[in-house]
Amino acid sequence: MTPHRRAFVAGALGLATVPTLAKATVPMTKFQVLEAVIAAWKKQDVEGVLAHVTDDIVWRNSGGFAPAIRGKAAMRQALTAMAAKIKTNAWRIFDYAENDHRLFMEGVDEFWFHTGEHIAIPYAGSLEFRGELIREWREYFDGRLSIAMKNGEPLSDEVKEMIGRPVAR
């Protein structure tokens, strides 16, 4: 029986009908979107990360050392290459602020390569959103720290202090 016919029959029989209520969905906050991205990346789930970005994403992940990665296909390629090198990661956010279209964040991108190298890069960044999807991703950090750590230098006391803070909730 179709929904319209059910309503007609119920009305003819004097029965009350209750409209079906669509489940209301509460939009995710910008920080919740970032948390979903982080959770996916901790599992090296490239498609899980990409589910939260627009097709025309602009990802400035080099702190200005290299050109932006443009488009979801290019981001997929970059993330897949990174995932192949990384054994584990402990990406954390310490502080953030958001408005209707942007999330500002401060955190650490910390990971261990299959080769045993340990990298911990304190950074700040900005995510610009279109709806619930990230449209532009900018990260700002000192690339010299990454180079030094890749060359075997230990974490400085300053970096240890910067990355030893509690995570945002």
The candidate with the shortest Cα–Cα distance to 103, out of 87, 124, 83, is 124
Query: Which residues does residue 106 pair with via DSSP β-bridges, in sequence order?
Result: 95, 124
Task: Name residues whose C-beta falls within 8 Å of residue 53's C-beta, 6 or more positions apart in sequence.
Answer: 59, 72, 75, 133, 134, 135, 137
Per-residue pLDDT tens over the stretch 105-117: 999 999 999 998 8
- Name the pTM for this structure: 0.80
The pLDDT-based confidence of 76 (bands split at 50, 70, 90) is very high
In this predicted structure, the answer to whether residue 25 has a pLDDT above a threshold of 80 is no
The pLDDT-based confidence of 64 (bands split at 50, 70, 90) is confident
Q: Say if residues 96 and 34 touch (Cβ distance below 8 Å).
A: yes
**Residue 116 DSSP label:** S
- Please state, for a pLDDT cut of 70, what percent of the chain lies above it: 86
7 or 76: which leads in pLDDT: 76
